[in-house]
């Protein structure tokens, strides 16, 4: 931690010296503008974001002797770490090209620029300045709500559709994660998101919790597609219960109501007890009941977005 003393300057002003390393990092000189924002008892100082020539970040992925699943992971990792160009080259590229392109199309702002039998070039067109991250959190929330709404309905049958929404959950999760990693690499971008350092951490963990809920809901959809009538009825009842818990927590987050968040947090054991009763009564498979419990725990984790 760097310590600075307050120095009197004239009769009514005070000054604090700034660390040279910080000034050098952001190329600041005499006369440059600094922005100050008070958050509680903290004073946040940030440099003016200057127009600068951005150095393009490129990565080359060799596809030879790699499985398709490995290539998908490498593409997503490169995307999250905000490479401007992702180039794939290799002899076996032709066989996997359709799946690779589909993987790219499932990622926000990533486009195919070049495609041949041995080479695929992907470009990231994200414009950080025009970004409203809250919109993407809302989209993620809407997707999760739609999954709850369908899976709690005993008469619902289009489970393939719900499973397909898993890709939307992953797409939004990776995009939000990408933005967070960009901000962690350059704290000046924090102001673009209209999030303070504390809110930033809360949103980071919230993104992962909602993502996990979405993945487990897709697994429940796969189970419901083959479940027997009695078990299906109980699973739908459990989903309806979890939906109530999810909406309770989301309302606390939207209104930033700390008391409501604490109340929701204390409800976890009550909901877990009800889930257990429903699963025992309906003879629900142990693996499925474990997933339902995990959803409940992850929803509870979201309470930390408000008071954590």
Domain boundary among 124, 140, 157: 124
- What parts of the chain have a pLDDT lower than 50? none
Same domain (yes/no): 98, 170: no
Domain count, the chain: 3
Q: How many helices (H) and strands (E) does the chain have?
A: 12, 8
In eight-state DSSP terms, residue 51 is -
- Classify residue 209: in a domain, yes or no: yes
Task: Determine the pLDDT at residue 94.
Answer: 87
- Classify residue 90: in a domain, yes or no: yes
Task: Determine the pLDDT at residue 167.
Answer: 94
Same domain (yes/no): 95, 240: no
Task: Determine the pLDDT at residue 50.
Answer: 58
Task: Determine the pLDDT at residue 252.
Answer: 94
Task: Determine the pLDDT at residue 243.
Answer: 98
As a whole number of angstroms, the distance between CA 180 and CA 132 comes to: 13
The pTM of the whole model exceeds 0.85 = no
Q: Residue 11 is part of which domain span?
A: 7-47
- Classify residue 297: in a domain, yes or no: yes
Q: Tell me if 44 sits within 8 A of 36, measured CB to CB.
A: yes
- Classify residue 136: in a domain, yes or no: yes
Task: Determine the pLDDT at residue 245.
Answer: 98
Domain boundary among 80, 96, 124: 124
Instruction: Point out which residues pair with 46 in neighbouring strands.
Output: 35
- Classify residue 2: in a domain, yes or no: no
Domain boundary among 107, 124, 141: 124
Same domain (yes/no): 120, 135: no
Same domain (yes/no): 302, 225: yes
Same domain (yes/no): 75, 142: no
Task: Determine the pLDDT at residue 86.
Answer: 97
Same domain (yes/no): 149, 238: yes
Same domain (yes/no): 69, 186: no
């Amino acid at each position: 931690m760097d310590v600075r003393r307050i120095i009197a300057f004239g009769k009514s002003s005070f000054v604090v010296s700034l660390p040279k390393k910080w000034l050098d990092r952001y190329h600041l000189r005499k006369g440059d503008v600094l922005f100050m924002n008070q958050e509680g008892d903290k004073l946040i100082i940030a440099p003016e974001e200057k127009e600068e020539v951005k150095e393009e970040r490129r990565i080359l992925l060799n596809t030879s002797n790699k499985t398709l699943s490995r290539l998908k992971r490498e593409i997503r990792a490169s995307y999250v770490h905000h490479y401007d160009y992702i180039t794939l080259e290799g002899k076996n590229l032709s066989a996997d090209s359709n799946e690779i392109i589909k993987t790219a199309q499932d990622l926000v702002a990533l486009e195919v620029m070049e495609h041949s039998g041995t080479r695929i070039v992907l470009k990231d067109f994200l414009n950080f300045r025009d970004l409203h991250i809250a919109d993407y959190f809302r989209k993620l929330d809407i997707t999760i709500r739609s999954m709850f709404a369908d899976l709690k309905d005993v008469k619902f049958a289009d489970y393939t559709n719900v499973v397909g929404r898993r890709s939307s959950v992953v797409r939004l999760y990776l995009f939000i994660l990408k933005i967070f990693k960009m901000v962690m690499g350059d704290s000046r971008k924090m102001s673009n998101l209209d999030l303070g350092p504390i809110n930033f951490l809360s949103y980071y963990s919230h993104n992962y919790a909602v993502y996990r809920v979405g993945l487990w809901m897709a697994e429940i959809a796969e189970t419901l597609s083959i479940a027997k009538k009695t078990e299906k009825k109980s699973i739908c009842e459990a989903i309806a219960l979890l939906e109530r818990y999810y909406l309770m927590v989301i309302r606390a987050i939207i209104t930033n109501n700390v008391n409501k968040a604490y109340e929701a947090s204390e409800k976890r054991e009550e909901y877990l007890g009800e889930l257990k009763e429903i699963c025992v009564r309906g003879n629900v498979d142990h693996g499925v009941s474990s997933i339902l419990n995990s959803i409940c725990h992850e929803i509870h984790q979201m309470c930390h977005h408000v008071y954590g």
